[in-house]
Amino acid sequence: MPSAYLQTADLATYGVSGATAQQITAASQLIDSYLYRPAGMVYTAGVDGTPVYMSALAPELSFTASAGFGPGSNVVIPVTGPTSLLEVGDCIVIDRANASVVESCQVIFISGNQLTLASVQYTHATSAVLETGLLIQEKRYAPKNRTEIVLSMIPVVRVVGGTGRYGYGRRGDQASYNMDNFNLLASLSKFGGPPAWEIWPANTAAGIDPGTGMLWVPAGVMLAYYSEIKVRYVAGFTYAALPSGVKQACANIINTQVLFPELNGNIQTLKTGAGQITRFKDTVLDADTRAMLDPYKARLFG
């Protein structure tokens, strides 16, 4: 569902007691657009408080479990659905409609209509729904001879799954890259298609600085750093922990739209009688509102 950075109990506190659900949604979507965060800033947690998925995202693929399954490691689940569209390393959310058992897990093996999940925490019944597309996913090219990357959305609250693969270095780095260009890996890359993605244990071997998005990734099976890395993660806040600046920014946008509806169009100058209003920017986000939001803006670099 779309982001909503104000709820009914907070409307009076932030000076928009008469705001409608439509106005809140419109203002929240404008905030997401300004921040370059299509996944929004609010996540849904499990019953134990573990971050599970981004609340504003919609599922991409949906699967149904053909049999019940319980907690454990390397859990094999028969499912119905388009498993051919999945890849090893994808993360799925299980039983999103059931708040008492909802969780997110990583797919570590696919065989026909059977999925193997790295770890399952709860017991799920037959017909449990498994969905993809509810986490933030980013692909990064690792810097030469370094095992750290920077994720674009902060604060990072949980890395659910990660994959990496070996490949050639950038431009003129090939001759001095971690892997020799004339070994078996190079031959497979030339004649056997792209290198395979390899699972790395996100919850145990990766270190993350939540505030900066700096992620440490372990070396792979060849004891060399990956060339490319994919990360599936959750970043943001629960609504209860959402910074007051974000809520006030949402209220500011609503007030501008309600009190000055004439400023919402593409008007540069509005004059009536002796009064005149000039828009200096083609936006309803004034400098104070932007300052409230800027700390959470996505870093669009890799």
List pLDDT tens digits, range 103-112.
999 999 999 9
Residue pLDDT, tens place only, 26-36: 999 999 999 99
Same domain for 145 and 180, yes or no, is yes
Which one-letter DSSP state was computed for residue 124? B
Domain of 53, in residue numbers: 44-131
Least confident of 35-44, 53-62, 268-277: 268-277
- Measured in residues, the chain has a length of 302
Task: Please report whether residue 1 resides in a domain.
Answer: no
Task: Please report whether residue 3 resides in a domain.
Answer: no
The enclosing H or E element of 253 equals helix 244-259
* pTM confidence score: 0.84
Answer for the pair 29, 285: CB distance below 8 angstroms, yes or no. no
Q: Write down which residue in 220, 235, 250 finishes a domain.
A: 235
Same domain for 127 and 168, yes or no, is no
Output b/e per residue, 67-105; b: 16+ Cβ within 10 A: eebeeeeebebebebebeebebbbbbbbbbeeeebbbbb
- Does the pLDDT of residue 168 top 90, yes or no? no
- The 3-state DSSP class for residue 261 equals helix
Domain CATH number, residue 101: 2.40.30
What CA–CA distance (Å, rounded) separates 86 from 35? 29
Same domain for 213 and 153, yes or no, is yes
Same domain for 111 and 186, yes or no, is no
Task: Please report whether residue 302 resides in a domain.
Answer: no
More confident: 116 or 210: 116
